[in-house]
Amino acid sequence: MSKYTEPAKELLEHIGGKENIAAVTHCATRMRFVLHDPNKANMEKIEAIKLVKGTFTQAGQFQVIIGNEVASFYNEFKKLSGVDETSKDEAKVAAKQNMNWLQRMVAHLADIFTPLIPALVVGGLILGFRNVIGDIKLMEDGTKTIIEVSQFWAGVHSFLWLIGEAVFHFLPVGITWSIARKMGASPILGIVLGITLVSPQLLNAYGVADAKDIPVWDFGFAKIEMIGYQAQVIPAILAGLLLSFLETRLRKIVPNSISMIVVPFFALIPTVLIAHTVLGPIGWTIGSWISNVVYSGLTSGFGWLFAAIFGFAYAPLVITGLHHMTNAIDLQLMSELGGTNLWPMIALSNIAQGSAVLAMIYINRKNEEEKQVSIPAAISCYLGVTEPAMFGINLKYGFPFLAAMLGSLCAAVISVGSDVMANSIGVGGLPGILSIQPQHMAMFAVAMVTAIVVPFILTLTFAKTGMKKFAFKK
């Protein structure tokens, strides 16, 4: 009998038994259940299990935080319960039975952008580094940049743009691939579609405003402008959805004997034509409108109010899963404005949650058992992964979560009030400063200090004033 046997038996019992489990899988730190009847799960008893660090429900899945031992625990649970192994994709499909239409829409959006995040993070770090060595005058008494005095760093600066351009200018390729993969179409057709939106033969999207003559495809009776959609998000999403719709529907009506020829042909060509005549211009207009509204809101006289609301509300958005919608807005801001002033507030919110946990570590410094949860949670939070901190500590006690929200509010107001801009989405914690545009790093550092100090002090204050009696009920 392993040390996981008894906790696994308890979890199986308190979750409603095998018959209540529609699907189960795990991620890096959590067991993820899709339950036939979520009301049968006894959260109080589950959270009383020694190995369990907390529970929460998100995207139709009941999630139990185990920590780094989750893989071993999962294997023992699967053996005891007799439940068949489920892939993450299968679990997500099953989870949709517990979602409303808004949750399903957000889940689809998350599934599209989540596979792209590693590339976006790397791209953001690269752009930030290029800005430091190429734009800031650090050499010869502040008169020259690093690349102006060093041929080696000039070569590095030029070389790194190869990756930066691939990530951001050719972003539509990743989006259309991800949508095709998500919707059950052919990923390779998604890639081809994306390339047709950013092909070098098209006029670069960044050059349209200054172009004297826009090239066209001349069909005699009609002309189509040869405009690219480099870095554009909405046109790529609309085109990817149309391709997936056409391909999946054609597969159902075209005989298998000719499907390999007919389906790709009649799915791809109409999609490319419609993308360049209808969806592209419409998507560009919608994307520009969204980015202008968000940017205007953040830079207007009431920008501080927008920042305060977003900074305060972002953590609760994470609980609901609605925070995934910010990825599309960030990418649109980047394509239109060359950066995003929304993402820095997200990084600050993550830092604030980690700081509240840090205060709880101090408060419960004599509780060795809780340290096993709180210390790893604080570290992961400062590195951008907030769930262990939020669900394992802050929501458990309640008042640290509120302290973190208030600290995030203060830090967001400082960030927006100082016009801080990030190159792109980055690592959503302390390393996030590497994604900030160099001229804004100093003020972002001030905002980071605020996100560390304010939640820490507020958490200690709330604990001493008796507010710790009021915990959030999940």
Task: Round to whole Å and give the CA distance between 318 and 16.
Answer: 26
What pTM, to 2 d.p., does this model score? 0.71
Q: Which residues contact 212 (CB under 8 A, 6 or more apart)?
A: none
* pLDDT tens over the chain, length 474 residues: 678 888 999 999 999 998 898 888 887 678 888 888 888 999 889 988 888 877 877 767 888 888 778 888 988 898 888 877 655 555 555 555 656 666 677 667 777 887 888 888 788 788 878 878 887 788 888 788 899 999 999 999 999 999 988 988 899 999 999 999 989 999 999 999 999 999 989 988 777 767 778 889 999 888 999 999 988 889 999 999 999 999 999 999 999 889 999 999 999 999 999 999 999 999 988 888 888 888 888 888 888 999 999 999 998 888 766 676 787 788 888 877 888 999 999 999 999 999 999 999 999 888 777 777 788 888 888 887 787 788 778 887 889 999 999 999 999 999 999 999 998 887 778 888 888 988 899 999 999 999 999 999 999 999 888 665 444 444
- Measured between alpha carbons, how far is 104 from 96 in angstroms, rounded to an integer? 7
Q: State both tokens at 121.
A: 């993070």
* Distances from the Cα of 452 to the Cα of 187, 287, 430, 458, angstroms: 43, 34, 10, 11
Catalytic residues: 27
Q: Is 140 left (phi over 0), alpha (psi -120 to 50) or beta?
A: left
Question: Distances from the Cα of 305 to the Cαs of 47, 203, 466, in angstroms?
Answer: 37, 39, 30
Residue 218: count of CB within 10 angstroms of its CB? 9
* Distance between CA atoms of residues 301 and 341, nearest Å: 15
Q: State the maximum Cα–Cα separation within the chain, in Å, rounded to a whole number.
A: 81
To which residue do tokens 């102006």 refer? Answer: 148
